[in-house]
Copies of this chain bind each other. A is one copy, B any other.
Amino acid sequence: MPQLWRKNLINITPYVAGEQPKNDNIIKLNANENPYPPSPEVQRVLSQKSADDLKVYPSMDAAALRKALADRYGLKPENVFCGNGSDDVLAVAFRAFFNSNKPVFYPDITYSFYPVWCRLLKIPYETKPVNERFEIDVTDYYGENGGVVIPNPNAPTSIGVGEQFITDLLEHNRDCIVIIDEAYVDFGRYSCVELVKKYDNLIVTQTFSKSRSLAGMRVGMAFANEELISYMQAVKDSYNSYPLDQIAIETAVASLGDEEYFKATVEKVKATRDEAKEKFRAMGFMVTDSETNFLFCTHPKHKAKDIFEYVRSQGIFIRYFDLPRIDNYLRITIGTPEQMAELYKAVEKVLTARGPRRTG
């Protein structure tokens, strides 16, 4: 049988996420998850939820969550889009807004899902190299383009930009859609959500997976002017009408309602991060100035891959990318102080035991 149907199969290279090891005894610092549980309000929702409700479809636009987010950020529900994690939200935005023959611009070192979406959706793109300190040069984004997407803070570099950069970027890009991907912004210094009131071509995306400890529930959101949000709703309604289930909506709303817990958790992660930065620097690592819940670092005398493999053998999972320019770097999620202490021990061991790597 010649299997002629094969010729119509799609030809793509998918995104590869961090390992999800199944063993409960490992220390998992490889997926930028939060080491702390979500707000106790989330547990209350689960414990009180009646399974009887589940027989009916959820709200098509996650109405309760749109409203809660609008209230939290001083916007209207019509300025908010909710999706099945910020990956879904970004994919919908790429589909809705990047329909030009000109290339979309984004940094060469950034979230590795961007090129995957561009290839899937047949969007032309052009990467702009970050400098040797992994900083983004805003002037690289002044030229004519089919759209811009910048993560702030950037991943895996962990570096953030401030208001001046974003305003400058927007002032030089009035004729295309600009997406600012704020997945890690709650650990950073500056969010531009407020600017959606001023710039009608700005989309800001965020997620409940990092600062709100709800990676397991897949909730992401976008903020923009009403018209852009209506286009995102139309794309959603052309693909999958109900991307958020009832419990995803309800747990996210509960989490948003507990601002105090949220702030306390974020502060704990930031304190551990700043301590970890010093620890790693004291061990001889070059560490970028993280505005996220992870560190991006390299050691002048030890191969990143060796360190990655050694700590993995000790049951600690961090992230190593075999990619151009960053193949000697590690991305380390901030865990609890106890988890980090285990990591320091393991890293110290590999630095001492193996000695410096041979050069030449």
Contact = CB atoms under 8 A, between A and B. Distances in A.
A13 B99 CA distance: 16
Interface in A14-68: 14-17, 20, 28, 31, 33-38, 40, 42-43, 46-47, 49-60
A87 B240 contact: yes
Given A10-B95, A241-B17, A5 B216 contact: no
A234 B12 contact: yes
Contacts of A209: 57
B55 A36 contact: yes
Given A9-B99, A56-B215, A216-B246, A241 B15 contact: yes
22 contacts: A4-B175, A4-B176, A5-B201, A7-B100, A8-B146, A10-B96, A10-B234, A10-B235, A12-B234, A12-B235, A12-B238, A14-B236, A20-B57, A42-B54, A43-B51, A55-B215, A58-B216, A84-B84, A84-B240, A87-B241, A88-B240, A218-B245
A10 B99 contact: yes
A42 B38 contact: no
B28 A56 contact: yes
B53 A239 contact: no
A111 interface: no
A305 interface: no
Nearest to A237: B14
A56 B240 contact: no
A287 interface: no
B57 A8 contact: no
B42 A56 contact: no
Interface residues of A, number: 88
Interface string A236-255: 11111111111110010000
Given A8-B176, A100-B8, A231-B9, A242 B218 contact: yes
A31 to B, nearest CB: 6
A76 interface: no
Interface stretch (A115-123, A129-137, A275-283, A323-331): A115-123
B54 A239 contact: no
B245 A213 contact: no
B119 A238 contact: yes
Contacts of A58: 215-216, 218
A75 interface: no
Given A238-B12, A240-B84, A176 B55 contact: no
A8 B177 contact: yes
Contact of A239 (B33, B120, B241): B120
Contacts of A98: 8
Contacts of A234: 10, 12-14
Nearest to A28: B56
A13 B42 CA distance: 36
Contact of A216 (B10, B13, B57, B97): B57
Contacts of A8: 97-100, 146-147, 176-177
A91 interface: yes
Contact of A97 (B10, B84, B100): B10
Given A87-B240, A117-B238, A238-B119, A9 B54 contact: no
A263 interface: no
A214 interface: yes
Interface in A125-182: 146-147, 174-177
A217 interface: yes
Contact of A37 (B31, B52, B99): B52
